[in-house]
Structure 1
Amino acid sequence: MKTLWTPWRMEHVLGRAPASEGCLFEPPGDTLHDKRSLLLFRDNLSVVLLNRFPYANGHLLLAPRRHLNDLTEASSEESHRLMELLAVCCTILRRKLNPHGINIGLNLGRAAGAGIVDHFHFHLVPRWEGDHNFMTVCAEIRTIPQHIDHTFDLLLPEFIELATNPDPCIPR
């Protein structure tokens, strides 16, 4: 039998995770990357973070840098950049994690499932056939087979390249 060890999720599963100060999508400072806040990328319009409580390893969060609670409040420039980065993030996830598919979601409002209602954001969740088993169904616990620090280190070089490459498609 194999054991999947995901200890960083237990505080979240039990509802004891400390509330973070400020907005998750507005990490302090102006650095482009920050492992402590799981910030993989930031430019003048957008941020990409690893989800601290992921549904699967590589679960990314993409948000406008400006604090907006609804998609309809985004400027056309912000909307264009977010769509551009959705595609780039998919490319990076496929290149580095080789998922069989990717779920992309946006929940607007608490009734729609938004856990953070005042700063809209996209979820990008890599998926593999058979990636969730009886644990999710029976115990409402997901197992994540890769430590979040390792996932951050694996993805960061691609986002560093994105920050220095004027072409957002990162051809290769």
Structure 2
Amino acid sequence: MTSDRLQRLWAPYRMAYVRGEEADSGVLPDDGCPFCRIAAGGQQSELVVHRGETAFVVLNLYPYNPGHLMVVPDRHVADYTELTADETVEVATLTQRALAVTRAVSQPQGFNVGLNLGNVSGGSLAQHLHQHVVPRWAGDANFMTVLGQTKILPQLLEDTRDLLAEAWDSAPVSKEA
């Protein structure tokens, strides 16, 4: 057999997504929203770091960087303006906590925090609002990412989740004004 000189990165866990098996499992709501499935305790809910009253914090299954979290309201809403006052406060509070916990656990040098509202904004799951909390380090977009189009993640998602969940209640957060 001759080599085509292509590099291959095996990711067999993605096959369920490719085949659409998650949508056919009977766990997803009718609209097939993975965040609604996670909120209901279905598949991938093992990646939840913390559950609040109206929102939860979950590791991104396809992270940009190690520790990439998302803060997600339980309720299926697409736009920030659709959140209730209580949901808005909890999403903001959980985002602050996610920053503090990630700083305590991973010592990132910075963060990208934000929402992608609507499909044209880059949001792949625009129908269910979610706020990204992405830790950043100098050099995290190195030659492997830029030239090799390959992201190196040095830790299993389950291990990252365990570290963040264990630190959730003890990481220091700024004092109230």
TM range (shorter): 0.7 to 0.9
Please report how far the alpha carbon of residue 144 of structure 1 lies from its aligned counterpart in structure 2 after TM superposition: 1.1
Shift of the 25–36 alpha-carbon distance from structure 1 to 2, 3 Å rule, reads closer
Q: Match of 2:47?
A: 38
Q: Which of residues 106, 109, 118 is equivalent to 2:127?
A: 118
Higher relative contact order (CA 8 A, sep 6+): 1
Larger radius of gyration: 2
Q: Which of residues 73, 83, 86 is equivalent to 1:74?
A: 83
Please report how far the alpha carbon of residue 11 of structure 1 lies from its aligned counterpart in structure 2 after TM superposition: 6.0
Instruction: Determine if the alignment matches structure 1 residue 84 to structure 2 residue 93.
Output: yes
The two structures have a TM-score, normalised by structure 2, of 0.76
Q: Distance in 2 between matches of 1:63 and 1:8?
A: 29
Q: What SS class does the counterpart of residue 35 from structure 2 fall into?
A: coil
CA contact (8 A) 1:101 1:127 kept: yes
The two structures have a TM-score, normalised by structure 1, of 0.78
Q: What SS class does the counterpart of residue 56 from structure 1 fall into?
A: coil
Q: Which of residues 49, 66, 73 is equivalent to 1:57?
A: 66
Amino acid at match of 1:132: A
Gapped runs of 5+ residues in structure 2?
Answer: 1-8
Gapped runs of 5+ residues in structure 1?
Answer: 1-6, 163-167
Q: Match of 2:150?
A: 141
Q: What SS class does the counterpart of residue 48 from structure 1 fall into?
A: strand
Please report how far the alpha carbon of residue 37 of structure 1 lies from its aligned counterpart in structure 2 after TM superposition: 3.4
Amino acid at match of 1:157: E
Please report how far the alpha carbon of residue 8 of structure 1 lies from its aligned counterpart in structure 2 after TM superposition: 7.4
Q: Which moved more, 1:64-73 or 1:130-139?
A: 130-139
Shift of the 140–42 alpha-carbon distance from structure 1 to 2, 3 Å rule, reads same
Shift of the 18–128 alpha-carbon distance from structure 1 to 2, 3 Å rule, reads farther
Q: Distance in 2 between matches of 1:82 and 1:29?
A: 18
Shift of the 35–110 alpha-carbon distance from structure 1 to 2, 3 Å rule, reads closer
Alpha-carbon RMSD? 3.0
Q: Match of 1:107?
A: 116
Instruction: Determine if the alignment matches structure 1 residue 24 to structure 2 residue 24.
Output: no
Shift of the 28–36 alpha-carbon distance from structure 1 to 2, 3 Å rule, reads closer
